[in-house]
Structure 1
Amino acid sequence: MLLVLRLIIRYWRTVLSVCVYFWSVSVKLTHLFKVVKTEAISLAGYETNDGYYT
């Protein structure tokens, strides 16, 4: 347990930066998925912004 704590203390910045990196990647992927979904919906003829469906 002490060894784990020492490793965490030594590498916490690296772990933190990796976590932040993965978080930013997941945010970008989520945004990209939303954009693609919106584009696909508008291509299919659904208008979501105005609240009506064609």
Structure 2
Amino acid sequence: MGLVVIFSLVTILAIFGLFRSLKDKNLLGAFFAFGTLAVFGWFTVMTVLEQGFPTAH
């Protein structure tokens, strides 16, 4: 279940990176940040749908 947490943290950091690179007008950085956001965002959504939310023990 730690995989969902790691994927979601990477997705959140990719959102911040995308906004920062767009603000600085860094198009190559924005391209890679968007790619990271798309891939890890998709992995996050599909992992949550397949395995569910992490539970606290």
Q: Compute the TM-score of the two structures, normalised by the length of structure 1.
A: 0.45
Q: Which has the higher contact order (CA 8 A, sep 6+)?
A: 2
Of Structure 1 and Structure 2, the greater helix share is in 2
TM-score (norm 2): 0.43
Point out the structure with the larger strand share. 1
